[in-house]
Amino acid sequence: MNVTKIALPQYSCSENRFENQDTAEAMVAEAARLGADLILLQELFDSLYFCSEMNQDHFSLAETAEGSTVSRFRKLAASLNVVLLLPFFEKKAPGLYFNSLAVIERDGTLAGLYRKMHIPDDPGFFEKYYFTPGDLGFRVFHTSAGKIGTLICWDQWFPEAARLTAMKGAELLVYPTAIGTIPEEGEVDKIRFRDAWRTIQRSHAIANGCYVASTNRIGNEGHNTFWGGSFVCGPFGEILAEAGEGQEIISAELNWSLIENQRQTWPFFRDRRVDAFGKLTERYG
């Protein structure tokens, strides 16, 4: 298959996770009806962004990859014949939790997991309390809907993560996301932050000659207001589809046959000074 149609459902969540799952399921079904082969849901797809506070109760939202939530969406993917990227709160063992993404093939098999490697911790985003940094490394999945490099939210600020994922063969980098502003931040901040967020992700497409897709949530959740703006861009960083701040499904066609030409004409992989990159494994200096 040389072209994949990707869809990104963008929606808000409530306290009721089953209601959120129903929303997600309905939007995935609608995306499939519109011809999408590949569907990317938002980070922690079926709950409020609970990391806005430190509350032990929220650990009860976590499930294993064999739990009922992933199972429900594996069945959905199979019934719709789509590859589904499902970000979820993963419980590995009591006291060990990850911010994860399940890659589900169109026959409902679990192709594998990615566990968010970079974990933020800021006022309103207390993720280091909940999530252990990912222990599976950077990953690419050769699916029936393309070679998909899986990354999650905060990973988007780290060019190293994009590069290592692209070096494993990814032709699409995905970033399910939960990003927005807190009350101390005004409209000017939001415009500036959102443009920086969009710019850094577009840059990963440019640097690596690949597609990028990013799904963000919307809505007000207590102190956090999520800005939506889910988008798909091509290997020049050019925007192919972009959402506003409301509930919607955006989609774009990913033409895999363009990737090799792109990397021949902009041959960054040819020229990386790998002999001089050793200190990238250091903190500073």
Q: Which residues bind a second copy (CB under 8 A)?
A: 117-120, 122, 133, 137-138, 154, 157-164, 167-169, 192-193, 195-196, 199-200, 202-203, 206-207, 236-238, 265-269, 271-285
Determine if residue 219 is left, alpha or beta; phi over 0 gives left, psi from -120 to 50 gives alpha, anything else beta. left
Q: Locate tokens 């590069």: which residue?
A: 163
CB of 62 to a second copy, least distance (A): 22
Q: Residues 13, 51, 153, 233: which is the catalytic one?
A: 153
Question: Closest approach of Cβ 258 to a second copy, in Å?
Answer: 13
Least separation in angstroms between residue 161's CB and a second copy is 7
Q: What are 220's two structure tokens? A: 């007000």
DSSP-derived 3-state class of residue 13: coil
Task: Determine the Cα–Cα distance for residues 194 and 230; give it in Å rounded to an integer.
Answer: 11
> Smaller CB distance to a second copy: residue 11 or 114?
114
Q: Cα 163–193–244 angle (5° rounding)?
A: 95
Shortest CB 40 distance to a second copy, Å: 22
Cα-flanking dihedrals φ and ψ of residue 217, to 5°? -90, 170
Closest distance between a second copy and the C-beta of residue 33, in Å?
33
Query: What six digits make up the tokens of 40?
Result: 């990317």
Cβ closer to a second copy: 75 or 192? Answer: 192
Strand bridging mode 3-10 / 248-255: antiparallel
Give per-residue burial for 206-224: e unless 16+ CB within 10 Å, then b.
bbbbbbbbbbbbbbebeeb
Judged by beta carbon, residue 33 or residue 279, the one nearer a second copy is 279
Is residue 51 among the annotated active site residues?
A: no
H helices, E strands: number in the chain:
7, 15
Q: Other CB atoms closer than 10 Å to residue 79's CB: what's the count?
A: 11
Specify the residue, 207 or 241, whose C-beta has the smaller distance to a second copy.
Answer: 207
Q: Which is nearer to a second copy, 186 or 278 (CB)?
A: 278
Q: Is 153 part of the annotated catalytic residue set?
A: yes
Residue 84 or 151 with smaller CB distance to a second copy? 151
Strands 231-233 and 218-221: unpaired
- From the candidates 43, 105, 127, 171, give the one annotated as an active-site residue: 43
Q: What share of the chain is helix, strand, coil (3-state, %, to 5)?
A: 35, 30, 35
Tell me the closest approach of the beta carbon of residue 96 to a second copy, in angstroms: 18
Query: Catalytic amino acids?
Result: 43, 116, 153
